[in-house]
Amino acid sequence: MPSDSDQQLAFALLRRTAYGRVATSMRALPFLAAARHIVSDGHVLLRMHRGFGYHDACVGSVVAYGADNLGTAGTAEGQWTVQLVGLCEAVRPSTAELARFGPPPGYVDGEPYDAVYLRIEPQKAVVHTLSPAVDSAVAGAFPAVG
């Protein structure tokens, strides 16, 4: 299990963004799939489109789930990435959890969206933060060419 502080920081950051990517393997090939997430009772719940079958590869497997705010440069909180690793299982969210997900998309690649829900029980939580470089640190990071 991740330390309480690592997991709490990861959950706090995940609550600031709605989407991430789940990674596992399908027929011995790695893949990433976009998913909507919420944090609930020490778990991460995912909503994915059933039509691609990606959820079948996730259920019963150890998966990685990552989310970030890297596309929002210049945010006051800085830039960060979160990665969770844990066992994934199919679930039926409560009415309150479904409300927290918000409305699903209408279509995916032109096909009607068919939601499936998964739960990840984190075994590992990793957070990385990115900060602007300080001039002296940048100068020392690159050796002089001569």
Here the tokens at position 56 are: 């079948």
| Domain at 63, CATH number | 2.30.110.10
pLDDT recorded at residue 133: 63
Q: Which of 146, 126, 136 is nearest to 65 (CA)?
A: 126
Q: What separation in angstroms does the CA of 87 have from each of 1, 49, 116, 119, 135?
A: 11, 19, 16, 8, 43
Distance, CA of 120 to chain centre: 10
Mean pLDDT of the chain: 89
pLDDT recorded at residue 4: 81
Per-residue model confidence as pLDDT tens digits over 27-63 = 889 999 999 999 999 999 999 999 999 999 999 999 9
For residue 66, being part of any structural domain is answered with yes
Over pLDDT 90: what percentage of the chain? 74
Tell whether the torsion through CA atoms of 116, 3, 77 and 63 is positive or negative: negative
Considering the entire predicted model, what is its pTM?
Answer: 0.85
Number of structural domains in the chain: 1
For residue 146, being part of any structural domain is answered with no
For residue 85, being part of any structural domain is answered with yes
Mean pLDDT of 72-91: 87
Domain containing residue 77? 4-141
Over pLDDT 70: what percentage of the chain? 86
CA 6 – CA 113 distance, rounded (Å): 34
Reported confidence tier of residue 136, pLDDT bands at 50, 70, 90: low
